[in-house]
Structure 1
Amino acid sequence: MPLDHYVSLGRSGLRVSPLCLGAMTFGEDWGWGASVADSEAMIDRFLARGGNFIDTANIYTKGHSEKIIGDHLGRHPAKRDRVVIATKFFSNLYSGDPNGGGASRKAIVSACEQSLRRLQTGYVDLYWMHSWDASTPIDETLRALDDLVREGKVRYVGFSDTPAWKCAEAQVLARFLGQAPVTAIQVEYSLLERTIEGELVPMAREHGMGITPWSPLKSGVLTGKYRREEHGRHQAGRGEWATRALDERAYAVIDLLGELARELGTTVSRVALAWVMGRPGVSSTILGARTVAQLEDNLGAADVTLTPAQAGRLEALTVPKLDFPHDFVANNASFFQGGTTIDGRPAAPWPLAPKGDDDRW
């Protein structure tokens, strides 16, 4: 799918590119990341290729990520209006301030105003709750977000890193009260992290939420630069984020990705990204890069198409262990459903495969 073949984000009219430029790497304030010049170059290259979706957060590089985007795009209305800018609230930038973070009305409104100043824009296209705040009632969070939408400071609302049951509760409550719905969820998803297929994926598809995976290359593990024979000697840019994922299972996946990359005449990272992009319910996959060269390589994933057989080989290596009652129900489908079949397969709830031509989302 070319970068300029835009897709609807969930059950909304917001059109985004199938790949999203993640801005967690913008700025060197955390000891790793891209310089301002390299960040701006990546933005320009992404937009030139047809991408229109950029994702950041108030906490990324201590707010510097938002400022880089604001300096380069926000202060130029002609550029800004062509881009879908997403940012997040929740993280506390003020040590010792109990209201400096979280999902209360006070924290949300304050975080939004600060992000707008750093981004140098009057509105955020997509405003994510970065994580679930268990100490704040979800109805308070939803009312605050709906007020921001009504004021024109936010266009759409999304949830990141939040349990499926809480996302579902919020969506039903928002619809019942006529408030801004949860348009999308942002979750970790890769060949090495598939547990979201148990609850979050079917929940999102049922409730019309687009899925925007983060870390589709598992912090660089699935780029092809890590080899089994070099285990223990890797110097990963993000430290344990990458090295703790390097085990025999990961190396088996890397080996197969390399084999498929050779078959397709492409790179390991593109094959890994193409698998994520093709999963049921996925709207736009978030890329992280520190150089234009890395970005160019990743953008090439839009031109890679895996055959069902190739995708099946990857999936067979990475079948997730889902929580109860998934395995129990699947293993006893015949008992529960009397041996009936629907659409040519045993009847069972929570199908993970695409629903087919009647798939509404």
Structure 2
Amino acid sequence: MSLKQYYTLGNSGLRVSRLALGTMTFGTDWGWGADKASAREQFMAFTEAGGNLIDTADLYTNGESERWVGEFVRDSGLRDKLVLATKASYSADPSNPNGGGNGRKHLMRALEGSLQRMGTDYIDLYLLHAWDMVTQPEEVLRTLDDAVRAGKVRHIGLSNVPAWYASRMQAVAELRGYEPLAALQMEYSLAERAIENEFIGLGTRYGMGVMVWSPLASGLLSGKYKPSTGGQFGEGRLQTMSGSNNPAFSKFSERNFAIVAELEKVANEVGRSMAQVAVNWVANRPGIATVMVGATKLAQLQDNLGALDFELPAALRERLDAVSAPAPGYPYTFFTPGMQTMLSGAAPLGDKPDGYQAPVRISGPAAGVQ
């Protein structure tokens, strides 16, 4: 696997690198992150290594991330070679009832703001940042489809939504001839494997490439945090944000530190950093299209970019699978081989054998055409 290998995202024709540059750390407005000089170094290192997918969002570091990304792209002269992705949903003005969420009024305003901050005429991949629990999927999809038809967006996707919501939108897109969803951007790591229940199957079956965010569990899997009884686990973003109500930063648990311990052992056995092994594990999981890596320092990013340079032995991969395996909850407890045997009298066979072809019945004008 190489950063210079490009694969189409979902069922779209958009070719993206196996690693993407996440730029939530571009900016210092939140009290942590990379300053402008470091962010520029990371951008140049990523693009020079062959990466072409840059991910940001309208409110990352209060808009600073988008502005810096736009400036770096212009200065590099690489706009046509890069895939720019950004997102919208969150509100920058709590006093405005339509200043956030996924309604048409806000999404259209947010898109114009992103285009202006990045200084570009179009966004290659525009994503809903999160489900607002209010706006109907039909309204969101029509709004995104209009943006594509207007030439301001090339492809669309979703982030942090329920599987049923994504499935409904893709079905409506197919039914009505709207722009289909090309991507699902979801959290996935050794410490967070919930998307395996629904989203991996959804994406592979219905043409949505899964873009992984936080493959290092917000830095937990880099090894810089250690178990503690005093509430101080180490220095970094997770420690700084541990008191927030953002679930993305709630990672300090007995289970997760057990994963960290096993990851450290595996990393030592293969002679790689813990971060490289963690990213490598994610990048080689079924159904994963691209993995976003981000950093506050150039050295961290350079280390992450080495995650594709090696193959993790199967035995070591299985150890990581086992220590991080999530406990199946309802209704997934019904989908085990043992329970499925009770349905048909035999364990599920999975794929049909080679040469098997189910009979095809076609009615209407196309009948008889194979």
The two structures share one fold, judged by TM-score above 0.5: yes
Corresponding residue number in structure 1 for 2:164: 165
Q: Deviations over 1:165-186 (max 9, x none)?
A: 0000000001111011110101
Of structures 1 and 2, the larger Rg is shown by 2
Distance 2:230 2:210 in 1: 33
Q: Distance in 2 between matches of 1:339 and 1:2?
A: 41
Query: Does structure 2 conserve the Cα–Cα contact (< 8 Å) formed by 1:84 and 1:125?
Result: yes
Match of 1:39 in 2: 39
Give the Cα separation in 2 of the matches to 1:59 and 1:78. 25
1:218 aligns with 2:214: no
User: 2:301 — aligned with what?
Assistant: 295
Q: Which residue of 2 aligns with 1:132?
A: 131
Listed as ranges, the matches of 1:146-185 within 5 Å are 146-185=145-184
Give the C-alpha shift of residue 100 in structure 1: 1.4
> Aligned partners of 1:208 and 1:215: how far apart in 2?
22
What secondary structure is seen at the aligned counterpart in 2 of 1:269?
Answer: helix
**Residue 247 of structure 2 corresponds to residue 248 of structure 1:** no
Q: Counterparts of 2:327 and 2:176 in 1: how far apart (Å)?
A: 36
**1:50 to 1:344, Cα distance in 2 relative to 1, 3 A:** closer
3-state secondary structure, aligned to 1:283: strand
Query: What count of residue pairs does the alignment treat as equivalent?
Result: 344
- Residues 79, 248 of structure 1: alpha-carbon distance in 2 compared, 3 angstrom cutoff: same
CA distance in 2, matches of 1:344, 1:129: 34
Q: Contact 1:90–1:108 at 8 Å: present in 2 too?
A: yes
Runs of at least 4 residues off by over 6 Å:
none
**Letter matched to residue 4 of structure 1:** K
Deviation at 1:336, TM superposition (A): 0.7
**Local SS of the residue matching 1:266:** coil
1:57–1:87 contact (8 Å) kept in structure 2 = yes
Which residue is 2:53 aligned to?
53
Give the partner amino acid of 1:131: A
Q: Match for residue 25 of structure 1?
A: 25
State the one-letter code of the partner of 1:237: R
Counterpart Cα distance in 1 of 2:266 and 2:38: 31
- The residue type paired with residue 339 of structure 2 is N
Residue 69 of structure 1, CA deviation: 0.8
Which residue does the alignment assign to 1:338? 345
Amino acid at match of 2:12: S
- Matched with 1:281 is 287
User: Could you tell me the TM-score, scaled by structure 1's length?
Assistant: 0.91
Normalized against structure 2, the TM-score is what?
Answer: 0.89
Partners in 2 of 1:274 and 1:230 — Cα distance?
31
Could you tell me which residue of structure 2 aligns to residue 13 of structure 1? 13
How far apart are the structure 2 equivalents of 1:335 and 1:95?
Answer: 53
Residues 216 and 276 in structure 1, CA contact (< 8 A), matched pair in contact too: yes
Structure 1 residue aligned with 2:364: none
SS at match of 1:121: coil
Aligned-residue offset at 1:98: 1.3
> CA RMSD of the aligned region, Å?
1.9
Note if 1:70 corresponds to 2:70: yes
Deviation at 1:308, TM superposition (A): 2.3
Partner of 1:359: none
After superposition, the C-alpha distances for 1:110-165 in whole angstroms (9 at most, x for unaligned) are 11011000000000000000011222121111111111101110000010000000
Following superposition, the deviation at residue 344 of structure 1 comes to 9.0
Describe the superposition over 1:20-56 as per-residue Cα deviations: whole angstroms up to 9, x where unpaired.
Answer: 1001000000000000111111100100000011100
Tell whether the 8 Å contact from 1:210 to 1:282 is kept in structure 2 after alignment: yes
In the other structure, the counterpart of 2:366 is none
Is 1:259 the counterpart of 2:265? The answer is yes
Using a 3 Å threshold, how does the CA distance of structure 1 residues 77 and 32 change in structure 2: closer, same or farther?
closer
